[in-house]
């Protein structure tokens, strides 16, 4: 049976962020994830986690100015010091919040910069981040993201992520596999999950098209849930989707689709 974590960046958005923890617990979630904690104090977030008996299973390293269009900076040779300062900040939050793993968004290719320099910057920054996180007892994740939603994103396919992990050579570096992004870029979801299960530390979900709840689109989630049970995936599945109406109105998919996967 899959373990679902509510993504509080995308779910319960009718509420202020710090009120979403109570809503998630009230809806039956035992764990949460979100993009970034940095606009809030770690103490305030920890209080919400503890008050509602929730585990935090994932957040991202700082990714630049999100509202201005940044989607990570690990590949940008002009922002290495900013990236590395962000690693230290993320570890500080992780230690206080008890999260076991942090995701690194590779970023969009900076204009006018040589592709090999972009790649080498990404490799060097991942080596730095992996070493820093290992010292803190944390896993580092990298996430392929589809280039329809984020044109120019430098990491978009699973095989590319696995090759990057091999090149970096860190034993605490893994793939964050987002089913929605993977469906848009490459399909072959079941075969890819089976082939690379040992490299995957976290899975996220949404349906396609629309990035709405599972069961609203073309992806056969009962089949995938049964497959993940069969091949032994023991991690969390982050519910990173846009509710088609309200979060609460759409949550019936959990019981309905998991029952079909039994």
Is there a contact between 67 and 40 (Cβ–Cβ < 8 Å)? no
229, HSE (Cβ side, Cα atoms, 13 Å): 13
Mention every residue, 6+ apart, whose C-beta is less than 8 A from residue 224: 179, 189, 190, 193, 261
Residue 45 vs residues 9, 32, 61, 183, 227: alpha-carbon distances, Å: 14, 11, 16, 33, 34
Pair of tokens at residue 218: 């073309």
Catalytic residue status for 143: yes
159, 186, 240, 255: the catalytic one is 240
Q: To 5 degrees, how large is the angle CA 21–CA 35–CA 192?
A: 110
Cis peptide before 209 (omega within 30 of 0): yes
Whether 188 is a known active-site residue: answer no
Of the residues 14, 33, 115, 143, only one is catalytic, namely 143
Interatomic CA distance for residues 63 and 134, integer angstroms = 20
Residues whose CB is less than 8 angstroms from the CB of residue 54 and which lie 6 or more positions away in sequence, other chains included? 21, 24, 25, 29, 30, 31, 32, 48
**Residues forming a β-bridge with 6:** 32, 239
Q: How far apart are the two ends of the chain, measured CA to CA in Å? A: 8
Residue with the two structure tokens 């990570």: 72
Which residues are known catalytic residues? 143, 240
């Amino acid at each position: 049976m899959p373990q679902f974590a509510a993504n509080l960046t995308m779910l319960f958005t009718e509420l202020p962020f710090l009120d979403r923890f109570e809503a998630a617990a009230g809806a039956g979630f035992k764990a949460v994830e979100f993009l970034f904690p940095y606009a809030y104090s770690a103490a305030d977030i920890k209080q919400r986690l503890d008050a509602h008996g929730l585990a935090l299973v994932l957040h991202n390293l700082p990714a630049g100015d999100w509202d201005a269009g940044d989607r990570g900076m690990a590949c940008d040779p002009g922002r290495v010091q900013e990236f590395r300062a962000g690693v230290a900040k993320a570890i500080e939050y992780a230690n206080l919040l008890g999260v076991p793993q942090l995701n690194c968004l590779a970023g969009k290719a900076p204009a006018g910069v040589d592709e090999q320099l972009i790649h080498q910057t990404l490799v060097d920054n991942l080596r730095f981040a992996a070493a820093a996180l290992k010292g803190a007892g944390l896993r580092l994740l990298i996430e392929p993201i589809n280039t329809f939603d984020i044109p120019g994103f430098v990491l978009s396919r699973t095989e590319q992520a696995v090759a990057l992990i091999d090149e970096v050579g860190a034993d605490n570096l893994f793939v964050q596999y987002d089913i929605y992004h993977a469906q848009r870029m490459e399909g072959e979801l079941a075969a890819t999950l089976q082939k690379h299960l040992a490299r995957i530390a976290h899975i996220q979900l949404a349906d396609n098209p629309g990035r709405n709840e599972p069961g609203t689109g073309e992806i056969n989630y009962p089949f995938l849930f049964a497959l993940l049970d069969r091949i032994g995936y023991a991690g969390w599945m982050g519910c990173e989707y846009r509710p088609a109406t309200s979060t609460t109105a759409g949550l019936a998919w959990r019981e309905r689709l998991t029952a079909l996967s039994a």
